């Protein structure tokens, strides 16, 4: 390195530390950041830059480039996450709607089952009454047959 080893080395380390922090936070690759830093340090050495204001603007440009890259990476990741979140919300809404529809169907079927159960109970009561009526009619028929048989035994055929 040249006589500017001190400031350039410090400049490189400062940017590199920042770049590594940005890299860790955004998921960018460390190697590409290191290459950018080395390129900047090399350019500064080749240009024999000594003035701090020039260094500041070059650092600012490089950091802005890294921030833009980081934002782009983050925005892409953020957009992907937003898309996934929207899709997950949509799936949750559909599942909730489906659950609501199924709950309504279940309620209707439960109502139908209760109605059917009540109707079965009513029909069983009616069936029991009809059975009682049939049994009563059979007893009445048997009593009438017995009376007819008794009358025929006493008086002969009625016809």
Sequence-distant contacts of 140-146: CB under 8 A, at least 24 apart: none
* pLDDT band for position 45 (cuts 50, 70, 90): low
Instruction: Find the mean pLDDT for residues 96-101.
Output: 93
Would you say residue 114 lies in a domain? no
Would you say residue 141 lies in a domain? no
Would you say residue 110 lies in a domain? no
Would you say residue 150 lies in a domain? no
Question: Into how many domains does the chain fold?
Answer: 1
Least-confidence region, from 44-53, 77-86, 94-103, 118-127: 44-53
**Residue 33 confidence (pLDDT):** 56
User: Is residue 37 within 8 Å of residue 12, measured between CB atoms?
Assistant: yes
Global pTM value: 0.38
Best mean pLDDT range from 35-39, 74-78, 142-146: 142-146
* pLDDT band for position 80 (cuts 50, 70, 90): confident
Would you say residue 123 lies in a domain? no
14/8 Cα distance (integer angstroms): 10
**Residues of the domain holding 36:** 5-95
Instruction: Find the mean pLDDT for residues 82-88.
Output: 89
Would you say residue 135 lies in a domain? no
Would you say residue 39 lies in a domain? yes
* pLDDT band for position 39 (cuts 50, 70, 90): low
């Amino acid at each position: 390195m040249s006589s500017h080893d001190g400031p350039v080395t410090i400049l490189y380390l400062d940017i590199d530390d920042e770049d590594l922090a940005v890299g860790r936070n955004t998921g960018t690759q460390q190697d590409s950041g290191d290459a950018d830093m080395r390129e900047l340090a090399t350019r500064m050495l080749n240009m024999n830059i000594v003035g701090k204001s020039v260094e500041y603007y070059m650092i600012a440009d490089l950091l802005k480039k890294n921030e833009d890259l980081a934002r782009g990476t983050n925005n892409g990741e953020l957009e992907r996450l937003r898309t996934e979140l929207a899709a997950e919300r949509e799936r949750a809404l559909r599942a909730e709607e489906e659950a609501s529809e199924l709950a309504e169907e279940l309620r209707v079927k439960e109502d139908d089952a209760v109605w059917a159960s009540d109707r079965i109970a009513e029909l069983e009561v009616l069936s029991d009454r009809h059975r009682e009526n049939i049994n009563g009619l059979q007893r009445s028929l048997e009593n009438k047959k017995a009376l007819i048989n008794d009358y025929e035994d006493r008086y002969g055929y009625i016809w």
